[in-house]
């Protein structure tokens, strides 16, 4: 069917899309909006859907712009600044394909942010406390991380959920804390091997999305990262067909709850992403980038993954 030009132009203008027509993936979403305007009502969309954050910008000229985010986990000393410098030096070759984000340990955020100023790589953090301040020995507030230079904060990573017993309610509070401080929240979800074997994957993900994503989530303030727990650090990855099914399911849930914003939120894939499989994974429908673990510690590997974006 042909989308009525006047109606689509109104929708596009509201969300500051720069060009018409859109790429096929967005066009299908717009066609669905015309068929069922109650599902995607631009008049009711929040103003935050029209805003951008630093390099975590969503370029809707063609499609959702990919983001390659590196999670350094509990790795990195001052000596690793040289590796980050190599990422900065090579970023210009890949930023035509994707935005780049590196989340080092909290001890390195300020140093990395200083070096990244004016460059093509954004710096983030790996976790935060839900409170802005107080008697919480050893914890770090989102405001502190942003003050050090973080533009995004990962919350709800499976290692936090498993090692520290963090549940969906706490993850939601941490996402809200990231917003309070002015950062983008990257909310992680994923099933364990046992849950997968028992056929519970979709139910687990539905529960995590319902419980972990705050009301008011938008394409400008939240990113979802799907990381099957059984694939993290194991070298195992789901098939492309599995990833497409899961990401499509996540997209449906996001669009149902958040309407236009849900259709525009980035959904990252994580779990043993490496240069050898990046291009295949990044070509999957509804995969809008990657959350990269071990491979993000080396500039050559991290940049090679970004080159895999279509």
Cα–Cα distances (Å) from 290 to 37, 54, 74, 114, 275, in that order, read 31, 18, 19, 24, 11
Closest CA to 205 of 141, 236, 248, 241: 248
Catalytic-residue membership of 129: no
pTM of structure: 0.81
Q: What is the mean pLDDT of the chain?
A: 85
pLDDT of residue 237: 85
Catalytic-residue membership of 157: yes
pLDDT of residue 235: 87
pLDDT of residue 54: 36
Percent above pLDDT 70 for the chain? 80
**Contact (Cβ atoms closer than 8 angstroms) between residue 108 and residue 76:** yes
Cα–Cα distances (Å) from 201 to 34, 193, 226, in that order, read 32, 9, 11
Per-residue pLDDT of 91-108, as tens digits, reads 999 999 999 999 999 999
Confidence of residue 229 (pLDDT cuts 50, 70, 90): very high
pLDDT at 239 over 90: yes
**Contact (Cβ atoms closer than 8 angstroms) between residue 150 and residue 125:** yes
pLDDT of residue 29: 45
Residue with the bigger pLDDT between 187 and 25: it is: 187
Cα–Cα distances (Å) from 166 to 56, 148, 246, in that order, read 26, 25, 23
Does residue 233 come out as left (phi exceeding 0), alpha (psi in the -120 to 50 range) or beta?
left
Residue with the bigger pLDDT between 13 and 189: it is: 189
Residue with the bigger pLDDT between 187 and 4: it is: 187
Q: Across residues 249-268, what is the average pLDDT?
A: 98
pLDDT of residue 37: 41
Rounded Cα distance, 106 and 160, in Å: 15
Rounded Cα distance, 86 and 91, in Å: 8
pLDDT of residue 233: 87
**Contact (Cβ atoms closer than 8 angstroms) between residue 306 and residue 120:** no
Per-residue pLDDT of 127-174, as tens digits, reads 999 999 999 999 999 999 999 999 999 999 999 999 999 999 999 999
Name the helix (H) or strand (E) containing 122. Answer: strand 121-123
Question: Which of the following is catalytic: 157, 176, 191, 247?
Answer: 157
Closest CA to 160 of 144, 145, 180, 174: 174
Sheet containing strand 289-292, edge to edge, reads 121-123, 99-103, 67-71, 289-292, 267-270, 222-226, 184-189, 152-155
Burial of 75 (0-12, 13-18, 19+ CB in 10 A): middle
pLDDT of residue 153: 99
Distance of CA 16 to the CA centre of its chain: 21
DSSP of 218-242: -TTTEEEEE--GGGTTTS----HHH
Per-residue pLDDT of 14-66, as tens digits, reads 333 222 233 344 444 444 444 444 443 433 333 333 333 434 544 433 489 99
For tokens 């789901």, the residue is 238
Percent above pLDDT 90 for the chain? 78
Question: Which of the following is catalytic: 83, 176, 227, 247?
Answer: 227
């Amino acid at each position: 069917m042909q989308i009525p030009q006047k109606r689509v132009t109104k929708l596009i203008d509201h969300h500051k899309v720069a060009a018409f027509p859109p790429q096929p993936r967005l066009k299908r979403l717009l066609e669905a909006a015309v068929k069922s305007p109650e599902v995607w009502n631009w008049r009711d969309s929040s103003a935050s859907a029209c805003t951008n954050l630093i390099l975590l910008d969503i370029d809707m000229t063609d499609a959702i712009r990919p983001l390659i985010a590196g999670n350094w986990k509990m790795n990195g000393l001052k000596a690793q600044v040289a590796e980050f410098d190599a990422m900065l030096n090579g970023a210009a070759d890949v930023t035509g394909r994707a935005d780049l984000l590196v989340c080092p340990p909290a001890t390195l955020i300020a140093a990395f942010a200083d070096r990244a100023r004016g460059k093509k790589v954004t710096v983030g953090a790996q976790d935060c406390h839900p409170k802005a301040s107080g008697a919480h020995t050893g914890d770090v507030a989102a405001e502190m991380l942003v003050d050090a230079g973080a533009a995004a904060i990962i919350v709800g990573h499976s290692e936090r959920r498993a090692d520290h017993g963090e549940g969906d309610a706490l993850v939601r509070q941490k996402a809200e804390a990231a917003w309070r401080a002015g950062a983008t929240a990257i909310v992680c979800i994923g099933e364990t091997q046992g849950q997968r074997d028992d056929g519970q994957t979709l139910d687990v993900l539905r529960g995590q999305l319902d419980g972990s994503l705050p009301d008011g989530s938008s394409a400008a303030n939240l990113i979802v990262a799907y990381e099957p727990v059984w694939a993290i650090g194991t070298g195992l990855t789901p098939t492309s067909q599995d990833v497409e099914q899961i990401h499509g399911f996540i997209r449906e849930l996001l669009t149902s709850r958040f309407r236009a914003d849900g259709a525009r939120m980035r959904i990252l894939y994580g779990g043993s992403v490496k240069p050898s499989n990046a291009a295949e994974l990044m070509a999957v429908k509804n995969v809008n980038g990657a959350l990269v673990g071990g491979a993000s510690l080396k500039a050559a590997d991290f940049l090679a993954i970004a080159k895999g974006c279509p």
